[in-house]
Amino acid sequence: MKRIADSTVRRLSIYLRFLEEFEGRGLATVSSEELARRGGTTSAQVRKDLSFFGSFGKRGLGYSVPELSTALRDILGLGKEWKVVIIGAGKIGAALAQYRGFRQRGFVIMAAYDTNPEKIGRKLEGIEIRDMKRFEDDVAEQKPEIAVLAIPPDEAQSSLDRIARAGIRAVLNFAPVQLHATGDMTVKTVNMAMELEGLTFALTNKDGN
């Protein structure tokens, strides 16, 4: 398959959210203009984004809401349950363990891992905190597909290498540091400061400022 840009995938996630909202309101069809307006983009961009994956919608009739939302869930890989492990049972790990949005989407958190003996064996929002020493054995047995990295920046790269060696190919990184991934691994870094920069840009560039 052609390489799809991250920004395209991001827009697919956004379109899916609007489609699900439309489903909830009982709407049967939606136009590319409506999707574009809600997603802050152009209808040409909506059509282009969807064209990578097949032929959707009918000229003049728009898209079928249930058909397009099912297709987008399939494209995004949301038709199945995904097993997720959290590395680091600190504040960020705890926040993620209780995050309601994950279970809604079929993400199942298997365990959290830590090296701190005081934390090991305790529960984090109902999720067991396990000894990092057991990580490789657990991965071999349970085959989680995604690891969430919630540890300090100076330990993030070595943890990423360890996750890679254990065979997990997708990592969501919360450490504010750029990580180097090997060949077939996908690493996404969530940078909270960068999210705030979207706001400071808006505040700085508003009329009258």
Give contact residues for its own copies (rule: CB under 8 A): 1, 4-7, 9-10, 12-14, 17, 21, 40-41, 75-78, 82, 84, 91-92, 94-102, 104-105, 107, 125, 145-146, 152-153, 169-172, 176, 178, 184, 186, 188, 190-206
CB nearer to its own copies: give 66 or 176.
Answer: 176
Helix or strand or coil: residue 85? strand
Alpha-carbon 78 to chain mean position: 11
- Tokens representing residue 199 in the block: 């706001």
Q: Find the shortest distance in angstroms from Cβ 122 to its own copies.
A: 15
Of 167, 171, 145, 146, the C-alpha closest to 157 is 171
CB nearer to its own copies: give 92 or 132.
Answer: 92
Q: Find the shortest distance in angstroms from Cβ 157 to its own copies.
A: 14
Q: Find the shortest distance in angstroms from Cβ 183 to its own copies.
A: 11
**117 phi-psi bin (left φ>0, alpha ψ -120 to 50, beta other):** alpha
CB nearer to its own copies: give 50 or 96.
Answer: 96
Q: What are the distances in angstroms from CA 58 to CA 11, 31, 47, 72, 153?
A: 21, 9, 11, 17, 49
Q: Find the shortest distance in angstroms from Cβ 109 to its own copies.
A: 11
Q: Find the shortest distance in angstroms from Cβ 129 to its own copies.
A: 14
Q: What is the DSSP letter of 61?
A: T
**131 phi-psi bin (left φ>0, alpha ψ -120 to 50, beta other):** beta
CB nearer to its own copies: give 67 or 145.
Answer: 145
CB nearer to its own copies: give 125 or 133.
Answer: 125
